[in-house]
């Protein structure tokens, strides 16, 4: 029976620092603020949004939600985005992706101020992840995985990790973060031959494909660690489920994240962390302390 790697335990361990840092910044005249831009009413977005609102409220942080209609035009969306980009009271911007058909996120990724890009979507921050530059923001989900692995003391140095899913949002940046911890990472994608066989030979399996219950028991070596990044809607039951077939894998794995209740809540805590660092950077730059602002480390694991 697998040891459950519960995300709320990790997030709870981070909340003390989040509340203290938020209070420190408020005492220095800065009110850290995240603004969410949501187009329409996608169920996955609403789940994430509720989690953000709850955690930010718990640690005393400010979050605003800009809700836009599905029929919004590209120019109108870019105008809203530009206004938030220029608003000094906004320290972090989170755009829920993917956008509806007819809307293009690429211009927004190019527009965003890298210092407000707390989910690491612009090219400057993406490049910093691959260059190992700690002054940029990695996407929150990969950082959430790293926080969870560190909290539960999962050995990474020298470990073989199968990473199923190669998106620029999760898979690719996560591969860099894992390599930075001296793990040997094997990337698996839709054209990979014998994904199950590859996974069977690794110590850690991380799935971020968005394919419900893709990972079955035949993928898992007995005692392996299985991290489920997927958040999917079961088409039959309407319930949330992950990329991993939990009931099938749980008797075999040594450790396993649940869905919901696993990586997602840690991702939200990372988002709060990035927002606080963004607020601190903005404060230092306003004081003319650009060198100190640059030295604020935004891509580290808190729970070392």
Q: Tell me the C-alpha distance between 108 and 113, whole Å.
A: 10
> Minimum mean pLDDT among 17-26, 86-95, 228-237, 247-256: which range?
228-237
Whether the per-residue pLDDT at 246 is higher than 90: the answer is: yes
Whether the per-residue pLDDT at 302 is higher than 70: the answer is: no
Residue predicted with more confidence, 115 or 296: 115
CATH fold group of domain 25-114+266-287: Rossmann fold (3.40.50)
The pLDDT value given to residue 304: 43
pLDDT over 70, % of the chain? 97
For the chain, the structural domain boundaries read 25-114+266-287, 140-256
Q: Tell me the C-alpha distance between 59 and 64, whole Å.
A: 15
Residue predicted with more confidence, 64 or 46: 64
> Minimum mean pLDDT among 6-15, 102-111, 163-172, 231-240: which range?
231-240
140-256 shares the fold of 25-114+266-287 = yes
pLDDT tens-digit profile of 141-179?
999 999 999 999 999 999 999 999 999 999 999 999 999
CATH class of 140-256: alpha beta
**Contact of 283 with 25, CB cutoff 8 Å:** yes
pTM greater than 0.75: yes
- Convert 132-150 to b/e letters by CB count within 10 Å (16 or more is b): eeebbbbbbbbbbbbbbbb
pLDDT over 90, % of the chain? 83
pLDDT tens-digit profile of 190-226?
999 999 999 999 999 999 999 999 999 999 999 999 9
pLDDT tens-digit profile of 282-292?
999 888 887 87
**Contact of 173 with 126, CB cutoff 8 Å:** yes
């Amino acid at each position: 029976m697998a040891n459950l790697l519960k995300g709320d335990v990790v997030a709870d361990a981070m909340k003390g620092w989040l509340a203290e840092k938020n209070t420190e910044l408020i005492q220095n005249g800065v009110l850290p603020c995240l603004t969410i831009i949501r187009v329409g009413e996608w169920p996955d977005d609403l789940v994430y949004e509720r989690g953000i609102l709850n955690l930010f409220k718990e640690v005393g942080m400010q979050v605003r939600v800009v809700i836009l209609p599905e029929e919004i035009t590209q120019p109108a969306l870019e105008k809203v985005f530009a206004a938030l980009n220029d608003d000094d009271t906004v320290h972090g911007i989170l755009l829920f992706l993917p956008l509806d058909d007819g809307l293009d996120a690429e211009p927004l990724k190019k527009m965003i101020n890298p210092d407000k890009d707390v989910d690491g979507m612009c090219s400057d921050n993406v490049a910093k992840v691959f260059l190992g530059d700690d002054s940029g923001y990695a996407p929150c989900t990969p950082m959430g995985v790293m926080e969870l692995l560190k909290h539960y003391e999962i050995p990474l140095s020298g470990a073989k990790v199968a990473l199923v899913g190669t998106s620029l949002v999760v898979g690719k940046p996560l591969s860099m973060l894992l390599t930075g911890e001296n793990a040997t990472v094997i990337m698996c994608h839709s054209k990979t031959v014998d994904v199950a066989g590859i996974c069977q030979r690794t110590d850690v399996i991380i799935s971020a494909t968005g394919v419900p219950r893709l990972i079955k028991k035949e993928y898992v070596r007995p005692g392996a660690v299985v991290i489920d990044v997927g958040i999917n809607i079961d088409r039959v039951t309407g319930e949330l489920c992950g990329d991993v077939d939990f009931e099938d894998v749980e008797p075999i794995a040594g450790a396993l994240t649940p869905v919901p209740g696993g990586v997602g809540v840690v991702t939200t805590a990372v988002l709060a962390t990035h927002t606080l660092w963004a607020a601190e950077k903005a404060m230092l730059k306003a004081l003319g302390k650009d060198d100190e602002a640059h030295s604020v480390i935004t891509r580290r694991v808190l729970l070392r």
